[in-house]
């Protein structure tokens, strides 16, 4: 009970701290909404399938920034301020700090994807309730691999370096994952890069769940995403242990 309540308090404090940081909150929530409003709804001119296709990509896009920056740059800044050191000494159960931060990132991603869903619904995207839940749910779940990748960056680089690298990864994942522009209009080499991006595989799964693509190669997409997540988890664990040494 005590341990659970510590996790809960830690998560609440992190959510509160994030909520009070508008320079982080606004870009990570507003950017996906703005992009979707302009490119998804604006350019589709009422064609449901375009708005629908773009939504499936944007739920993944909306998860990347809060997960990468909240976890990446955020952890680096607190590490530099020696805040993490104090928490590692304090009787905080193992991983309490990280679980708190992950919960805060998920809350933010949840808010961002929820707003995206509302915008898309008003914009005329039509799906069965089950497909809505699956599409938005996948977006939320995709925050976990991105958060783990961000954590590696945050634990290994200085605050400034982490921000720069997180930005680079954020752009790379979005562009090469085909989240901004459909990959079939891109050259061949582009598609080959896409195959190693977690964002590409998550985007494909999202297209399938939202009914825009037939279910195919699900196992392959899922195992690549899981593989990347496990590798990132091991990397983060090693970096965290090194912090302690």
Cα separation, 36 vs 89, in Å, equals 44
CA angle, 118 as apex, 113 and 121 as ends, to 5°? 120
Find the helix packing angle between 96-122 and 129-141, rounded to 10°: 140
Minimum gap (Å) between residue 155 Cβ and another protein:
16
Interacting residue with another protein among 83, 222, 230, 234 (CB under 8 A): 83
| Backbone angle region of 124, left / alpha / beta, with phi > 0 → left and psi within -120 to 50 → alpha | left
Which stretches does DSSP call E strand in 51-143?
none
Q: Any idea which residue has 């708005």 for tokens? A: 51
Q: Does the footprint of another protein cover residue 6 (CB under 8 A)?
A: yes
Interacting residue with another protein among 81, 118, 216, 230 (CB under 8 A): 81
Interacting residue with another protein among 17, 31, 50, 186 (CB under 8 A): 17
> Stretches 13-21, 27-35, 44-52, 172-180: which one binds another protein (CB under 8 A)?
13-21
Nearer to another protein, 81 or 215 (CB): 81
Question: Per-residue x/- mask for another protein, residues 226 to 245, rule CB under 8 A?
Answer: ------------------xx
Return all residues near 88 (Cβ < 8 A) that are at least 6 apart: 97, 243, 244
Q: How far apart, in Å, do the first and last CA atoms of the chain sit?
A: 29
Nearer to another protein, 67 or 84 (CB): 84
> Stretches 78-86, 128-136, 162-170, 200-208: which one binds another protein (CB under 8 A)?
78-86
Token digits of residue 56: 């499936």
Q: Does the footprint of another protein cover residue 48 (CB under 8 A)?
A: no
Question: Comparing C-alpha atoms, which of 172, 22, 28, 10 is closest to residue 78?
Answer: 10
Interacting residue with another protein among 39, 88, 180, 237 (CB under 8 A): 88
User: Interface with another protein by CB under 8 A: which residues?
Assistant: 2, 5-6, 9-10, 13, 16-17, 20-21, 78, 81-83, 85-86, 88-94, 244-245
């Amino acid at each position: 009970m005590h341990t659970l309540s510590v996790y809960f308090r830690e998560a609440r404090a992190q959510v509160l701290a994030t909520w009070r940081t508008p320079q982080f909150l606004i870009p990570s929530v507003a950017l996906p909404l703005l992009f979707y409003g302009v490119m998804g709804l604006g350019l589709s001119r009422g064609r449901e399938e375009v708005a629908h296709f773009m939504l499936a990509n944007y739920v993944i896009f909306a998860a990347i920034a809060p997960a990468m920056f909240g976890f990446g740059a955020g952890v680096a800044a607190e590490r530099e301020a020696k805040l993490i050191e104090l928490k590692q000494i304090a009787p905080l159960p193992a991983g309490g700090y990280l679980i708190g931060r992950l919960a805060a990132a998920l809350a933010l991603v949840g808010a961002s994807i929820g707003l995206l869903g509302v915008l898309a619904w008003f914009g005329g995207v039509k799906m069965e309730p089950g497909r809505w839940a699956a599409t938005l749910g996948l977006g939320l779940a995709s925050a976990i691999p991105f958060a783990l990748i961000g954590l590696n960056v945050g634990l290994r680089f200085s605050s400034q370096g982490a921000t720069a690298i997180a930005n680079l990864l954020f752009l790379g994942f979005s562009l090469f994952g085909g989240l901004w522009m459909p990959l079939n209009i891109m050259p061949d080499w582009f598609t080959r890069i896409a195959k190693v991006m977690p964002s590409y595989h998550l985007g494909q799964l999202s297209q399938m769940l939202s009914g825009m693509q037939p279910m195919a190669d699900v196992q392959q997409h899922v195992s690549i995403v899981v593989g990347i997540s496990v590798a990132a988890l091991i990397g983060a664990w090693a970096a965290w242990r090194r912090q302690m040494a």
